[in-house]
Amino acid sequence: MDTFVVFAASYDTLGAAEADYHAVRELYLGSGLIDTYDAAVITRDGAGKVSIVAKHERPTRRGAWRGLGIGLAGGALLALFPAIGLGAGLLLGGTSGAGFGALAGHVTAGLRRADLKDLGELLDEGHSGLVVVAASDLGDQVEQAITHASGLARKQLTADETALEAEIDAAVPSPAQSQDESYRQAVAHAEAAVAEAEAAAAAAEREAERYSTFRSPRDSGAGGVTG
């Protein structure tokens, strides 16, 4: 499993979000590690419609994940808001919606439910937002580069990129599929993957709570009796 840091920042203006997007890019250009992060800027129009207006995906990722056009930052947006950005030209080359679903599902599974809630609520607060997925060792530097945000959240993400690549490779695109069909399929796959991952996380939390409750009487009494 690979470990990343996810940043979600909210902004009062699109210009402020773009300024931090470029600041993060300059940080990576200066470090020579431009291939080690994903980022996306989102904005909300007067009607409340949200779209992705700028994005950076790690170009060296194998097969560019079959032309999805988004990396883990876009996957985080799909996990938080399944329909985000799909109307912004992200369906490239007839890519199957199953690929988007795999991406959203992996991100959802790699974050705690409380973290997903925190990220989603923060992004929903502002006019625009920035999502950055960075390698853990550069997390502090990325945070320092984000200076224009009105709100900022930082969470840890674990993801098995090798397994994710295999799932996306298996989602063979259908060139004959219409864009409308691809859009509906992408939304359906993303929503299903997120729901499945959330259900698995909830089940694991319930099991952990049951185990803790089962053990607590014995544990609490163990130190209360002495010879």
pLDDT the model gives residue 8: 94
Query: Average pLDDT over the chain, rounded to whole?
Result: 75
Q: What would the DSSP string read from start to end of 179-191?
A: HHHHHHHHHHHHH
> How large is the average pLDDT for residues 127-139?
90
**Helix H segments across 85-222?**
97-110, 113-125, 139-145, 161-170, 179-222
Contact 110, 162 (CB under 8 A): no
Confidence of residue 18 (pLDDT cuts 50, 70, 90): very high
How many residues belong to the chain? Answer: 227
pLDDT > 60? residue 222: no
3-state secondary structure 54-89: EEECCCCCCCHHHHCCCCHHHHHHHHHCCCCCCCCC
> What is the distance between the alpha carbons of residues 68 and 147, in angstroms, rounded to a whole number?
30
> How large is the average pLDDT for residues 180-197?
60
Residue 176 has what DSSP assignment? T
Contact 129, 190 (CB under 8 A): no
pLDDT the model gives residue 88: 44
User: What is the reported pTM?
Assistant: 0.72
What is the CB neighbour count within 10 angstroms for residue 110? 26
Task: Look up residue 179 and give its two tokens.
Answer: 């864009």
pLDDT the model gives residue 144: 94
The label of the residue with tokens 């947006």 reads: 77
Task: Look up residue 105 and give its two tokens.
Answer: 């599902």
